Structure 1
């Protein structure tokens, strides 16, 4: 055991050195005047609608959009856009913009043109008496905080010279809420603490059921014969590279889409029915491989003889990437604040946080490859391994079933039927696949079956309300909308908000254990609490906006608004029944329940 402890100590020292080096490099990249590290300690940032106030100036020739920009804040020229909203879509409007100030932007790492203090954008004269206008913009603070891209909609009445705010669905929009404690706390974490929280959250991801099937296969691979210690080390590092690289790649894609104005968050790839179906196919193929039908999945997972061959390192790399794909929708404790901080920072800083998340997830397996004492205690390779491989096929099949359930929430029963037909085509193709050498007849038919299965993926589209029936397991839930929230707040009633998604394992566990319990349902009814539930299984800009307001990039998000007014309390991502009831009692009677809430721990 002394050898094991010494190996663990060396690995932790190495990871600590890498973490310190990454922190130093990130700090060195950013001038102090625009340094999020320095800013996070002392600066208090304005809510986005106070930093960039919109107004309208009407005249006989039309109108102008006016931005009042707070001191030490600026707007990006290339993020400004105006659209006229019509019943059949929206039309971009031409803009005559003045010259701005050219700065080196740390967030996008390029020279860019910005506006400060005030900006006027003339609107061309229109013969219509009314027009619905959509305004796109994004800005940053000199102290280091960059806001996500913003969208605002207005109903312009040229005759009366008025502009009424709209929500993205076309109805009246309430005054935007100020930046909340949850968002400001995320923004003020600082890079070292954010990376530490991300690393710990990555460690916890290994215990999520969405990761276990893949990780169990990888653990099996290190028991293969003829593996020397240095070979296991190489596979540990290859797996770690696959995990960290995939986390960074997904994060880069998310940040790019957000910078382009898309309302996406962490785990956005599983909001695509085609991606969900593709992963279901992949897990189905791996299950068939473990069952002995084909060797394709075995090569992907790094199983089989010759795993010590360096050429087989790509199997460990691919396993890390696959584990990341299925783990990224899961949100472990400690992750929420770290990722909320990341998306407000320059790209280089944000990617460091996501890399720390991947390092945390990869660390247990990497450490195991450096623990020869534990590996030596594993049974020797033998016939039992074939039986174990066949047994591990069933978690793969169950993962495919879970993905099909998610797909049903996104695309309805028609989408599930299409993918099941594709799975039959894949099984038929693998059964036909010529072995040990190629045969044109059976091989061509197998290729056609595979292409037929893949051709079904582009036909999968999100269906509005596909999961509505299954999402309301308890009678007390109402569909979330900003209007319903504002109405309940005006009535002075306490509000419970549950932001969830079908692919979020943490959300499903909280639903089953806590939120669906009779005790919670009775408390909600007795205290006359308005319970609102938002389903983020498919993309929903309204839910994305609420997540961003509270410093979150993904679900779950649980909020409790107190009766009579006041800011919401952000609840932990892992709920307990007694803790939730105490929070609801405190919200229903803030004065009487303050002591109770203070003594309760979620």
Structure 2
């Protein structure tokens, strides 16, 4: 029986392949060509992974790239994105034997939107990378490249995007180039490929600007219509500021405003030059301020290179700073040690007292020189660190906490290191007494370094960008300033001889001086909690118990519980446990928010936010602080948090920004270096339309409020308080 259907469909089986292909295209990501991966689409961008070759051969090096086709008015970013955004990142999963190089960044353009400027690309761009095919790849097989990438696209708003890409390239005996469309995409990047600069480049810097001078053949008013410098490192220049260009025959001069991340160190970058015909080219060059020596041929040549301050002035500032450091709150932990040392001079032989003060001075100088060498070595390795950098390590802070506790227990009499203070006049002539004086000098420097005194900031900042021998001289003068009061006391022992004769009062003084050491240990535990969180604090507290146990065991042995070996052996086992705690502490996760939450009416420091506020014409007060900087904490309690200062901020509309350097933070390091400073505390006030005003390390309410009034309320000259 024939059954009819209300609707008859006639299928031509010859079209089945086309139908299936259409369905597959609708259900899966599209492929532009065999040498292009799946496409990741959004209303803003179409992104893929592309290869310049449609087929590759074993051992060959070819180009691949992250291709971005952007909607009109949207842009993506260069490796230095400027004031906003971030560069694209790509992570590959490769077969064995294959490797991919770094992105060969095309030359960027600058986009200015309101008060911010960005460096990047519009329309279409490819970020090229080199791919090395495995030597053992078999012709007839396929090379599978998989990658995860993320990028940011911006118009008036910025939107982060991401995608997963898979590109399968056939392996053949000889390579084949890809389609015209893909090669045209690579040609866009090639047209922006930076060239080596064929000119001689020199630069100089003043208080607010960099001056770039480019000399060479082919430079003229007809061949250079415009020029723009793009630094590879963030913040070297003010990204949004106008770059003033002057072109003469054979000479191009560009004036750039310094940025928040400026440091007087060489900075690689690109000079984009547009010629009279509108063609733009990018030239790779290094911006080397004249205050920074390039590779010096000799020490004498380096000595002739001017630093930001003359050597005599750096040395004088360093000496004064070291002298004033004796009065700073940072040296509070050392006062107990100094007090017992001064008491030990009572009744001592004059020669022995003098020798003891000399050994103390040698200890101070040795510590300062060691710090100088470490700082210079780390800087030479390309890292940015500052004065007091060791306190940014939770491991160092924990070790100092345990050391302060051990010294306190020693002063309390739980155990002895050498002889007692009674009769110390005789002992000072012995080697052990001199070693103690030397160690006291070392410890005074280590504990005093978290903060800087007046004059020290300029001296340290200038010294660390000067030739090495200049840095050594400056740090030695700083040490001499710190040691001078104790050295003079030893050289003129008549002062010490006015102390009471040795007796029981020395024992009581020694025991009383233990409590500042215990207070210091407690403070360092608080600092550690800001750095390493609860886990780090638990480890440090366990260490304090072990230190106390070890001190008690050593005391038992010294008291002759008596001649048994077990107390000493047990103490060594306890100290081994302490070493194990240090290893665990080294791997402890940092605290989520070092330094605690921001105080009321403050906001965390951000270079981008600072630039935006200044562009809006708002006054900004920046406080760079750290949990380990006692002077910082004192200034905040006694000055910045007072009702008078808070009221002055409200009256003048001052935005209060606070940066926390408790843990290492490259952004804060760069900010400090932009003012040639390497230590804390550091305070700077930005009044609208004026140069920034640097305030001294020790603040008063009157100083801060007067600065706000003078800088915000009048057009008076900029106050220079160093």
Counterpart of 1:102 in structure 2 is: none
Q: Offset at 1:464?
A: 4.1
Relative to its length, the structure with more strand (as a share) is: 2
The answer to whether residue 693 in structure 2 is matched with residue 573 in structure 1 is: no
Shift in alpha-carbon separation, 1:550–1:319, aligned structure 2, 3 A: same
User: Whole-Å Cα distance in 1 between the matches of residues 468 and 542 of structure 2?
Assistant: 42
The answer to whether residue 519 in structure 2 is matched with residue 395 in structure 1 is: no
| Alignment match of 2:317 (pick from 181, 197, 200) | 197
User: Whole-Å Cα distance in 2 between the matches of residues 336 and 478 of structure 1?
Assistant: 25
Counterpart of 2:670 in structure 1 is: 545
The answer to whether residue 543 in structure 2 is matched with residue 463 in structure 1 is: no
User: Whole-Å Cα distance in 2 between the matches of residues 329 and 201 of structure 1?
Assistant: 14
Shift in alpha-carbon separation, 1:581–1:287, aligned structure 2, 3 A: same
Long gaps (5+) in structure 2: 1-51, 53-61, 65-86, 94-98, 105-126, 132-144, 152-193, 195-200, 206-228, 242-255, 265-290, 292-305
Query: How far does the alpha carbon of each residue in 1:241-295 deviate from its partner, in whole angstroms, 9 at most, with x for none?
Result: 1001101101211111122121210100111111111111111011111111001
Query: How far does the alpha carbon of each residue in 1:59-104 deviate from its partner, in whole angstroms, 9 at most, with x for none?
Result: x8879xxxxxxxxxxxxxxxxxxx9955799x995799xxxxxxxx
Counterpart of 1:512 in structure 2 is: 637
Relative to its length, the structure with more helix (as a share) is: 1
Q: Offset at 1:432?
A: 2.2
Q: Secondary structure at the match of 2:513?
A: helix
Deviation larger for 307-316 or 373-382: 307-316
Structure-2-length-normalised TM-score: 0.58
The answer to whether residue 609 in structure 2 is matched with residue 488 in structure 1 is: no
The answer to whether residue 580 in structure 2 is matched with residue 500 in structure 1 is: no
Q: Offset at 1:523?
A: 2.4
Kindly indicate whether the alpha-carbon contact (under 8 Å) linking 1:283 and 1:396 is maintained by their aligned counterparts in 2: yes
| Alignment match of 1:372 (pick from 483, 486, 493) | 493
The answer to whether residue 378 in structure 2 is matched with residue 274 in structure 1 is: no
| Alignment match of 1:178 (pick from 252, 258, 271) | 258
Q: Offset at 1:338?
A: 0.7
1:283-362 aligned within 5 A: 283-296=404-417, 306-362=427-483
Kindly indicate whether the alpha-carbon contact (under 8 Å) linking 1:200 and 1:334 is maintained by their aligned counterparts in 2: yes
Q: Offset at 1:586?
A: 4.1
1:191-230 aligned within 5 A: 191-224=311-344, 227-230=348-351
User: Whole-Å Cα distance in 2 between the matches of residues 559 and 454 of structure 1?
Assistant: 42
Counterpart of 1:110 in structure 2 is: none
Counterpart of 1:243 in structure 2 is: 364
Q: Secondary structure at the match of 2:329?
A: coil
Kindly indicate whether the alpha-carbon contact (under 8 Å) linking 2:331 and 2:447 is maintained by their aligned counterparts in 1: yes
User: Whole-Å Cα distance in 1 between the matches of residues 572 and 451 of structure 2?
Assistant: 34
Kindly indicate whether the alpha-carbon contact (under 8 Å) linking 1:267 and 1:554 is maintained by their aligned counterparts in 2: yes
Counterpart of 2:707 in structure 1 is: 583
Kindly indicate whether the alpha-carbon contact (under 8 Å) linking 1:213 and 1:392 is maintained by their aligned counterparts in 2: no
| Alignment match of 1:188 (pick from 300, 305, 308) | 308
User: Whole-Å Cα distance in 2 between the matches of residues 413 and 562 of structure 1?
Assistant: 40
- Number of aligned pairs? 466
Q: Secondary structure at the match of 2:427?
A: coil
Q: Offset at 1:215?
A: 4.2
User: Whole-Å Cα distance in 2 between the matches of residues 336 and 299 of structure 1?
Assistant: 40
Shift in alpha-carbon separation, 1:543–1:303, aligned structure 2, 3 A: farther
User: Whole-Å Cα distance in 2 between the matches of residues 173 and 465 of structure 1?
Assistant: 31
Kindly indicate whether the alpha-carbon contact (under 8 Å) linking 1:263 and 1:539 is maintained by their aligned counterparts in 2: no
User: Whole-Å Cα distance in 1 between the matches of residues 367 and 203 of structure 2?
Assistant: 31
Long gaps (5+) in structure 1: 1-59, 64-82, 97-121, 136-140, 146-162
Q: Offset at 1:214?
A: 2.7
Counterpart of 1:525 in structure 2 is: 650
Kindly indicate whether the alpha-carbon contact (under 8 Å) linking 1:562 and 1:568 is maintained by their aligned counterparts in 2: yes
Instruction: Name the structure, 1 or 2, with higher relative contact order (CA <8 Å, separation 6+).
Output: 1
Query: How far does the alpha carbon of each residue in 1:498-533 deviate from its partner, in whole angstroms, 9 at most, with x for none?
Result: 111111122112111111112222222333322211
Q: Offset at 1:404?
A: 1.3
Shift in alpha-carbon separation, 1:142–1:303, aligned structure 2, 3 A: farther
Shift in alpha-carbon separation, 1:391–1:144, aligned structure 2, 3 A: farther
Query: How far does the alpha carbon of each residue in 1:116-167 deviate from its partner, in whole angstroms, 9 at most, with x for none?
Result: xxxxxx97546999999xx9xxxxx99999xxxxxxxxxxxxxxxxx99898
Structure-1-length-normalised TM-score: 0.69
User: Whole-Å Cα distance in 1 between the matches of residues 425 and 578 of structure 2?
Assistant: 27
1:68-217 aligned within 5 A: 86=90, 93=101, 124-125=129-130, 178=258, 187-217=307-337
Shift in alpha-carbon separation, 1:221–1:165, aligned structure 2, 3 A: closer
Counterpart of 2:280 in structure 1 is: none
User: Whole-Å Cα distance in 2 between the matches of residues 191 and 383 of structure 1?
Assistant: 49
Query: How far does the alpha carbon of each residue in 1:172-194 deviate from its partner, in whole angstroms, 9 at most, with x for none?
Result: 987795179x9889943211111
| Alignment match of 2:568 (pick from 440, 443, 465) | 443
User: Whole-Å Cα distance in 2 between the matches of residues 299 and 260 of structure 1?
Assistant: 45
CA RMSD of aligned residues (A): 4.1
Q: Offset at 1:227?
A: 2.7
Shift in alpha-carbon separation, 1:546–1:303, aligned structure 2, 3 A: farther
Q: Offset at 1:330?
A: 1.9
User: Whole-Å Cα distance in 2 between the matches of residues 92 and 499 of structure 1?
Assistant: 41
Counterpart of 2:124 in structure 1 is: none
Kindly indicate whether the alpha-carbon contact (under 8 Å) linking 2:100 and 2:130 is maintained by their aligned counterparts in 1: no
Kindly indicate whether the alpha-carbon contact (under 8 Å) linking 1:411 and 1:466 is maintained by their aligned counterparts in 2: no
Shift in alpha-carbon separation, 1:420–1:554, aligned structure 2, 3 A: same
Shift in alpha-carbon separation, 1:304–1:459, aligned structure 2, 3 A: farther
